[in-house]
Structure 1
Amino acid sequence: MKIIVHRGIDQIGGCITEISTVKARILIDLGQNLPNGEGVVDDDLASHEAIESITQGVDAVFYTHYHGDHLGLFHYVPDNVRQYIGKVAKRVALCKHRQLSYIKGREQQSKEEIAKLEGMGELSPGQTITVGDIKITPFFVSHSAYDAYMFLIEADGKRMLHTGDFRGHGYLSKGLLPTIEKLILSQGKVDFLITEGTMLSRLGEKVMSENELQRKAGEIMTRYKNVFVMCSSTDVERIATFYASNKRLKYRPLVCDHFQKNILEIFTKSAGEHTPLFRFDEAYDFNPTNTKLLDWMEDKGFCMFVRATDKFKDYYQALASRLDPNETILIYSMWKEYINDNSKHAVQRYIDFVSMFPYMETLHTSGHASADCLAKVCNLVNPVLGIIPIHSENSASYKNLPINEHLQQIIITSSNSTGHVEIRINQSL
């Protein structure tokens, strides 16, 4: 058996992991490299030719979630290679790519993307899919993308747990450790743990829980009448935080555009069936010509989800003359480096957008596991043969985590063989 980390050993995003036997080959994620601050993506694999080469002989691709750094190269995959993603994740991705199809000059690319997504197989938690002699079982995890999964992969008498991206401080995180203990470890030991390490570069950073973030959001909304929120449009837990905070302030409408409303409807019909926290039944589609809605917003205040686009600049300008600047704020709920002028990750359109608002507060928590959570997962899984860290800027720093001493000795960041398994780590691609 072979485990090949094609990409991801010392970079965040662009993840591609291969697991193969003499009878079958699968890939976990086919992610595109993250863009730079100008939105430009430098990725040698972003072509039909490159993906045809890397997927040659591959039987199936399994996606942990719908973020571009895990899913982004899906539309280059040849039709003879089966692709799988979560059932709800598929609907969210389709909604996003249908929205992108309205961009001038992108029609043909979007058509191809939508066709590929529509043809994907659907994953459900706990339901095993067999590809040749490889068994893949998805288990639900909390992340800043809803319907995200870790995968238990069983092949050649070995068991591997690929965590994908996950966290331990979200509303949906309480099932993380029990799932590993009761549904995975109860069936046998895990030989290899392939896991993310996004937060390794921020070992000393205190991670706020989503519950705490909701409390702070409520305090801000109490102080300000007119609240704009800039956050991920597809992060159900973050959206729920602001929706719940706004709902406590009676008679204030929750406002968004048509795309966001479609996303809310997807979440309401899926996650909302399990808990009222994710039921977004009272959201209003903003239209600058809807004077009744405008009058209501001016009178009672509001919470409005926005994105850094020309459309939302126009929406803000349409509202600005009706709003008291001293009662108006933007809550920025994304990674702070995007609006840091001195950061290599700075996004100028984000910086320009947030500068329009009279007041701005940053209120965010990561979609990724804290150092403490990573250590708890490593110690609980206690893999027999190795820990392979991916999705980290410096995977070797895994040894700095408070994990059991014997686990520190089996962290794998370079190619080798162990337990009759060949492990190949590509340093860059």
Structure 2
Amino acid sequence: MRLRIHRGTREIGGTCIELESGGSRILLDLGLPLDARDLASTPLPNVEGLAGSSSTLLAIVLSHGHRDHWGLIPKVNPQIPLLMGRATESIIRAAADFVPDAVKLNATRHLEHNKPIQLGPFTVLPRLVDHSGFDAYAMEVEADGKRLFYSGDLRAHGRKGSLFEALINNPPRNIDTMLMEGSSLGRLADDQTFPSEAALEETFVDRFKITAGMALVACSAQNIDRVVTIYRAAKRTGRTLIVDAYASEVLKATGQDSIPKPAPGWSNLAVFIPKSQRVQLVRNNIAALVDSYRGFRLWPEELAEHAPRSVMLFRGWMMRDLDQAKALAGAKVFWSQWDGYLSEGSAGDALKADCERRGITFESIHTSGHASPGDLKRLASAVDPKRLIPIHTFEREKFPSLFQNVVLADDDEWIDM
């Protein structure tokens, strides 16, 4: 078996790994680079059979549902088999009705925790991991008597941190090559740790208690851990969590009874559909889905009254609806996404400026979706690979000082296992 990293040896995002054995090949992830202007102008990596056809390209295996790991899939030959988690597929398909340039992917087969899949000469064993992306997997791949472990994106401080500990306590054995993400390097000192989702919950509880009006939390609806954190904090402070149709459909798409959603048995939850989203539902011919929100619906004329007892999953374009409903008195905005999305000229930057103009307090409360350097050390030590190759990082030069058996690879370089 040999491998080739097409993107990721010097950057976060756009991940694509090609594995070859006996003339057969598979891809692990096919992501849209973070710096891509758009899908149309972003070329596919140089992989035979992606855009055309090749009997040797057996499948594309997606580790999770973040677009920097699957975003180039719409450009490939639709006949290529796709493998991903069942919830990953469901969430991507639910989001496609609301997110620009999104698509409804169709999985040929689903990944399941600790259930091996045979793809020609490759045996792929998915390992469910803790990540801000729901239904995320690391993967063991074996062929020709050689063993590779791909970490995917993972962390230890989320609501599924026990999965990381399980990985540490029962790591992949006899690994020849490990591809390990290093997103946190350069963002965090080597001895620092990220706050946990549990710690964020306590912070939100404190902030919600002292917010006179509506608490507006700007976070991704697909960060299911964060939505659970916010819901729990809202419930603990006697507030109702308000979500829009997009978030409602994503939450339902998880397929998990333990995830809050507009469904029987869930209290402290309401659905508000902003005007532009109502237009979008009609335009996409999916307006009928609002029927499932019966009993949870909150109307514009009710927002002002409910504001002091509510938390809203919020995006900047919703400000107009709240303003027109006179629901912004005493409101505060809590930014719960990567601070990189607040860069100058971004939508986050525009939201922050809008809050300043309106006199609305703006505060960042967030934790990373990626493992701290200390947890990466624990993972590398537990797996103890013969060779460790950095991936999904801007700071590969830091790896040799932190980990053993590091080999720095280059994009498009074939590496024999």
Fold match (TM-score > 0.5) = yes
Shift, 1:416, TM fit: 12
2:271 matched to 1:285? Answer: yes
C-alpha deviations, 1:281-310, integer Å up to 9, x for none?
A: 542111468266325414x4210011233x
CA 1:5 to 1:53, structure 2 compared with 1: closer, same or farther past 3 Å?
farther
Shift, 1:42, TM fit: 6.3
C-alpha deviations, 1:66-89, integer Å up to 9, x for none?
A: 111100011122133111111001
Partner of 1:218: 205
CA distance in 1, matches of 2:341, 2:154: 21
Partner of 1:294: 303
Shift, 1:45, TM fit: 2.1
Q: How does 1:186-205 map to 2 (within 5 A)?
A: 188-204=173-189, 205=192
CA distance in 2, matches of 1:34, 1:232: 16
Partner of 1:165: 153
Question: How large is the RMSD of aligned CA atoms in angstroms?
Answer: 2.9
**Counterpart residue type for residue 313 of structure 1:** M
Partner of 1:118: 106
CA contact (8 A) 2:219 2:335 kept: yes
CA distance in 2, matches of 1:190, 1:42: 38
Q: Which moved more, 1:208-217 or 1:49-58?
A: 49-58
CA contact (8 A) 1:136 1:154 kept: yes
- Helix, strand or coil: the match of 2:354? coil
Partner of 2:119: 131
C-alpha deviations, 1:47-77, integer Å up to 9, x for none?
A: 9999426977311000011111100011122
Partner of 2:71: 72
Shift, 1:354, TM fit: 2.8
CA 1:370 to 1:280, structure 2 compared with 1: closer, same or farther past 3 Å?
farther
Q: How does 1:375-390 map to 2 (within 5 A)?
A: 375-384=377-386, 386-390=387-391
- Helix, strand or coil: the match of 1:135? strand
CA 1:164 to 1:217, structure 2 compared with 1: closer, same or farther past 3 Å?
same
CA 1:410 to 1:416, structure 2 compared with 1: closer, same or farther past 3 Å?
farther
- Helix, strand or coil: the match of 2:128? strand
Larger helix proportion of the pair:
1
CA contact (8 A) 1:35 1:42 kept: no
CA 1:73 to 1:417, structure 2 compared with 1: closer, same or farther past 3 Å?
closer
**Counterpart residue type for residue 332 of structure 1:** W
CA distance in 2, matches of 1:96, 1:331: 23
CA distance in 1, matches of 2:46, 2:175: 35
**Counterpart residue type for residue 336 of structure 1:** D
Shift, 1:340, TM fit: 3.8
C-alpha deviations, 1:326-371, integer Å up to 9, x for none?
A: x310000111132243xxxx51x22122333311110111001111
Partner of 1:32: 32
Q: Given the two structures, how large is their TM-score scaled by the length of structure 1? A: 0.81
Please point out which of 315, 319, 332 is paired with 1:307.
315
CA distance in 2, matches of 1:332, 1:50: 42
C-alpha deviations, 1:259-293, integer Å up to 9, x for none?
A: 111112233x326279xxxx965421114682663
- Helix, strand or coil: the match of 1:167? coil
CA distance in 2, matches of 1:415, 1:272: 41
CA contact (8 A) 1:19 1:27 kept: yes
- Runs of 4+ aligned residues of structure 1 deviating over 6 Å after TM superposition are 38-42, 46-50, 53-56, 415-418
**Counterpart residue type for residue 394 of structure 1:** E
2:222 matched to 1:234? Answer: yes
**Counterpart residue type for residue 283 of structure 1:** L
CA 1:41 to 1:222, structure 2 compared with 1: closer, same or farther past 3 Å?
farther
Partner of 1:8: 8
CA contact (8 A) 2:180 2:388 kept: yes
**Counterpart residue type for residue 241 of structure 2:** L
Please point out which of 332, 337, 345 is paired with 1:334.
337
CA distance in 2, matches of 1:52, 1:387: 31
- Helix, strand or coil: the match of 1:14? coil
Where does the alignment leave 5 or more consecutive residues of structure 2 unmatched? 275-297
- Helix, strand or coil: the match of 1:118? coil
Partner of 2:349: 351
CA distance in 2, matches of 1:416, 1:340: 31
Partner of 1:427: none
CA distance in 1, matches of 2:169, 2:226: 27
CA 1:355 to 1:154, structure 2 compared with 1: closer, same or farther past 3 Å?
same
Where does the alignment leave 5 or more consecutive residues of structure 1 unmatched? 424-429
CA 1:169 to 1:96, structure 2 compared with 1: closer, same or farther past 3 Å?
same
Partner of 2:281: none
Partner of 1:258: 245
**Counterpart residue type for residue 97 of structure 1:** A
CA distance in 1, matches of 2:39, 2:349: 17
CA contact (8 A) 2:124 2:140 kept: yes
Aligned residues: 383
Shift, 1:391, TM fit: 0.4
CA 1:389 to 1:206, structure 2 compared with 1: closer, same or farther past 3 Å?
same
2:394 matched to 1:393? Answer: yes
CA distance in 1, matches of 2:302, 2:49: 50
